[in-house]
Structure 1
């Protein structure tokens, strides 16, 4: 058999062939350029061929296509999804080396793994290896896009001034009620706060207030509508997106916004689950 003879995989095992060449009937010779008969057993090619430094050699078989539009090999099968079924292509290294290697010389994409219809319920691959894949980037992990992952990794925050207005924020917050229903400030976070952390701290003020007024006091915060613990008063704050902040003087008394008892500036941080 000359070096121009080619191979194909049948049922996960290499079989001799070329484009348009399937397995021949059992014990018959293979013919190039035509469809061979259907074999009923594996066609095995076994070699003992070591690695070389040359452009060829070192493999049991080699397939190549000199056309600028044709491929090197195509393998097809009709295996179903049963655990006992074999894949259309299997590479099994019985030693410690790599089981496969794909390499592209030029172009923008080295390859693709596609389902006919695609979709979120389809997995491109699975692995039991949990190490870091060097150089591998993903736009979606656990159903989240890269931008969503980056956003969720950040602590959300806002700064509320003495008038109960948002002075600055990371985004998504709106004031529901500031010192109208009572001496508290109610804020909508724009998302479900269940299982999230809420931390409030007083912010310093040194203009229009005395040093004691601008740098002393206390503040607490909590998500609204925690059964048996917190019930928020305003009707529009009775949901899991809302939280309440209670700025107070150092002795626990409420502020009233007067010159003698000014409101407090405060920060709130939301630590997401």
Structure 2
């Protein structure tokens, strides 16, 4: 099996996505979506941004590599009575089933950044975007002190080194890399803009319970705990991550969670 597919089908990302709904809707509200706009949401999960896009009357296709998340997305769309959205399996490095210049807007929020072969990802996103259209990515930033970058940093210290040729997904959070990747796909750097924005995870339970969901349902964190268990250091990993989650919580109550995380918003204008 494709190792990237195996990673994201390993857990159940819907348990994390439940904490992302509000910020996902807020982000989509700023994308300038209008009725009838054709939108591709790439690495869509179960629709954290794709469902709000459809609620703005866009015609939305959600594509994700994980079969379980595609099924969950279609179930959410059906429950919401949305007929202008569908979810299907696909690989961000090879969108062979999608026509060239088919979409007015391609959105990937913390999705395509995790696919291997980033040059291929950029090329495919450009290929399926029509001239005059846009690509919008939300990417976590390496070394950033906020939650997700630090989760991945901590977990990397407990897992075996990645295979030869592995390219860190966090490099999508570095502007020069983004410029290089889209440049190779034919986009001049003056047609790429960057902003720092904030995405907030919100839950009606404690940060420690939120961490528990990462431990049980988030592929990269699951792998880190498994490796730590084998090496007898699972308690150390738990202690580090619990301290991180508690320190980043900005909720007024220790029994609820509100954790902001900075990300790099990339906008590519396809001419």
TM-score, shorter chain, exceeding 0.5: no
Select the structure of larger CA radius of gyration.
1
Query: Hey, which of these two has a bigger chunk of helix by percent?
Result: 2
- Structure with the bigger RCO (C-alpha within 8 Å, sep 6+) is 2
